[in-house]
Amino acid sequence: MTEQGARTPSDQAREPAAGPAAQAAAEAAPRPRTSTRDREDLHRRLVTWLATKVTDPEVSELVVPESNGMSSETLLFESTWRDDTGAGPGSGSSGAVVTQACAARLVPDPDAAPVFPVYDLERQFRVMRLVGERSRVPVPRTLWLELDPEAIGSPFFVMERVEGLVPPDIMPYPFGSWLSEAPHADQARLQDASVRVLAELHDADVTAGDVAFLELDRPGGTALRRHLAEQRSYYEWVVADGARSPLIERTFEWLEDHWPAAEGAPVISWGDARIGNMMFRDFEPVAVLDWEMCAVGPREIDIGWMVYLHRFLDDIAIQAGLPGMPNFMRLDDVAQAYERHAGHTPQDLDFYTMYAALRHAIVMSRVARRQVLFGEIAMPEDPDDMIMHRPTLEEMLAGTYWSRL
């Protein structure tokens, strides 16, 4: 679910080496398959397409980020062209050579069993441009959108490539990374700045008309109801093979039984609001990435997701015998920081962290099915075993998870 910008070799060299336990866990874990596309063919077609936008383009070798991402395809490259007309998105006088570091976001390869049933790149492109224009959120500059799949074999868009560090998913950053090994003061600074980004996003200067394209076309009288209906539809798509999850269905029931008495006003919801979808320099955010799960909804959807997705990775580290980062992204700390930055007191976070765990359970169930398809794991007898955080979700339903932290 992550789209990565750029990490330079010197950035990677600054990251501390992980310990033996983390290395062993990383080696044992299969790397998710994301694409079956021919890279050389993509490069040739990309150059041909870019020639319709700028003069005399050249494109470097295409690079696929390895430390993050499984739900879509991102290509990193550098392009140069001659700015004869000034019509391109770069700057420079007539005839000057423009150099632009780029990242291209592609609809996932259908042969790679995509994680989600629909990938609306136009929606992502539009929300990135809107957020960039109407808020202080550091969104990469959008360059081109191409919806015709004939161009390179897939719809795609191109944005500027930002340099920075990403807290990695593979291996998870609590296993030993530039973030987990940083001084506590720097971790706290990154946490606070990340929460500030959420506040700035939710306070973007937009009208209901501006964000109408982000409304989910699902039944329900409120944005949160429609958001949940979207998750139900996604779950039904995932379990179309008949292997339904009793645990996920129990969680849907829990959410109905604990529905918030008052939903907050809807705002732009990033959807995949986590630090693994952000790039940092000096522990400050420089790019907010991966908008494929964007919608409108209460602020707490993003707050709960940011907290729980850290807990998900931290629990994996603890289960591997590592100390993890137990003092990072704690629920109360995040809520207090959000209130300080947004002037809004988060409500019903027990509901919204459970909702995050549910949403992630559906994603993990789909990811496991992809691994079965590609021969990476065997299909378990119990469908609930496809949920990596099954024990956590069971503890949350039992009311014992947060009390032990």
Strand partners, 77: 102
CB 73 within 8 A of CB 108: yes
Strands, DSSP E only, in 173-270? 267-269
Distance CA 331, CA 303 (A): 9
Instruction: Mark residue 242 as left, alpha or beta (left: phi above 0; alpha: psi -120 to 50; beta: remaining).
Output: left
Judge contact between 35 and 70, C-beta under 8 A.
Answer: no
Q: Is 11:165 a contact under the CB 8 Å cutoff? A: yes
Structure tokens at 368: 């496991």
Residue 272 is among the residues annotated as catalytic for this protein? yes
- Burial (Cβ within 10 Å: 0-12, 13-18, ≥19) of residue 257: exposed
Give the residue from 405, 179, 365, 383 showing the smallest Cα distance to 276.
Answer: 179
Contact 289, 140 (CB under 8 A): yes
Contacts for 388-391 with beta carbons within 8 Å, 24 or more apart? 388/312, 388/316, 388/364, 389/312, 389/315, 389/357, 389/360, 389/361, 389/364, 390/247, 390/361
**CA–CA distances in Å: residue 184 to residues 55, 105, 167, 190, 318:** 49, 34, 16, 10, 19
CA 45 to chain centre: 27
Which residue of the set 272, 290, 302, 314 is catalytic?
272
CA distance 134 to 136: 7
- Residue recorded with tokens 């093979």: 241
Identify any residues that bridge with 153 across adjacent strands, giving them in sequence order: none
Catalytic positions are 272
